[in-house]
Structure 1
């Protein structure tokens, strides 16, 4: 099938973009971006040689990137069949949100004990800007929403947890941009942000943890419901 062969896809320019064998992180990002954009479709075979030619690199960083993508669930590697792209379906999104509902409360719980007045003021300033946007500037909203959460997460000592959150956020954000998020969900997000700020101001660690768990669960349910309704 044509969809199974990467050779049928247009190769991006690689002039002026040399990639060393040690650049598996950049290859990972490029493969993941192409998967999320649909340029490498679900079920497509991922041949190491073809990917190396596609991205203008050697085979070693491609192998490392595929192993990382396998570990994160984007790629399935089967004996005698090689690597394939896993379909990004409801169960895939559910799994990501279930992991996020563990990660984000963990990050918030630590932040609640160390947040400064300046941190909370920064969150409030970002939230004010989000609310001033209304519901039309989705691209700007996404960036501000990430900025809001980064105030909370970027100071955490566990960089692996923060990086995992960021990768999942990138993936889920790409998926959600292909869906029509209802105004009621946008309004709920704003209220959930305000509740998180309120709890942090009061140094209510348990309340802040509950607030972010509600926030993550609500977003997950909404995205999965939209995927079901639009399939």
Structure 2
């Protein structure tokens, strides 16, 4: 996979150009903090910025309103909602319930080729050793997509993709602590080991703690950044 401005393979597909592409771009900028909290979102300015007509921008803002990322106020138009630690916690907690459910199917059905792919991706993650945050994010997404991508429940899988997009975009605001980096390596290897042994409960339990600890780390780091910024 190639890396663009949206790691984790979170990119609009060719058929998603227009309204959906603009939606993803604006959402990413809100979550990454490039569009600050409470900033007014003027349709004409956004259309000029992204080189599109005003219609796809209006549609994107309505979609973002539905996700709770944009707030419409009478006589004031659209503004960016505050991305606070409560929001991050809530999104993360959904993942804690969803991802163990998804991984059980993989643990039950994984082939040797699947396991070899996981190990190859993890080898590359460890060789990179967080030297490039975007590339790490892309590899990490490949790792988790391998775990969930063939699940029969496409609604659940698409929900995971949505939550992944949100948490990754927010994570671009903060550095990853050294201790968390080491924990990620250990947790991924433990997941692979459980899958090799066809330990379905162990796989799900390991993934639950992996997602929980990742969410807690992001909340803690974001809290530190926001305190420093006085937000």
**TM class, shorter-length:** 0.7 to 0.9
Are residues 1:128 and 2:100 paired? Answer: no
45-54 or 127-136, which moves further after superposition? Answer: 45-54
The residue that corresponds to 2:198 in the other structure is 203
State whether structure 2 residue 100 is matched by structure 1 residue 85: no
Q: Deviations along 1:176-219, whole A, 9 cap, x unmatched?
A: 23322111111111111112111211222221111111011000
Report the alpha carbon displacement of residue 90 of structure 1 after superposing the two structures with TM. 0.8
Unaligned runs of 5+ in 1: 1-19
Counterpart position of 2:52: 57
Separation in 1 of the partners of 2:149 and 2:174? 28
1:85, distance to aligned residue in structure 2 (A):
1.0
- Correspondence for 2:62 among 49, 58, 67: 67
Q: Who wins on radius of gyration, i.e. which is larger?
A: 1
Match in the other structure for 1:35: 30
TM-score of the pair, normalised by structure 2: 0.80
Alpha carbons 1:135, 1:183 under 8 Å: kept: no
Residue in 2 that maps onto 1:189: 184
1:164 partner SS? helix
Name whichever of 210-219 and 104-113 sits farther off: 104-113
Q: C-alpha distance in 2, partners of 1:184/1:114?
A: 32
Call closer, same or farther: CA 1:115–1:219 in 2, change over 3 Å: same
Q: CA RMSD in A?
A: 2.5
Q: Give the length in aligned residue pairs.
A: 212
CA distance in 2, matches of 1:54, 1:179: 26
Higher relative contact order (CA 8 A, sep 6+): 2
Which digits, 9 at most, give the CA deviation of each residue in 1:2-52, with x for residues without a partner? xxxxxxxxxxxxxxxxxx9x8221110121133234442211223444434
**TM-score normalised per structure 1:** 0.80
Unaligned 5+ runs, structure 2 = 1-14
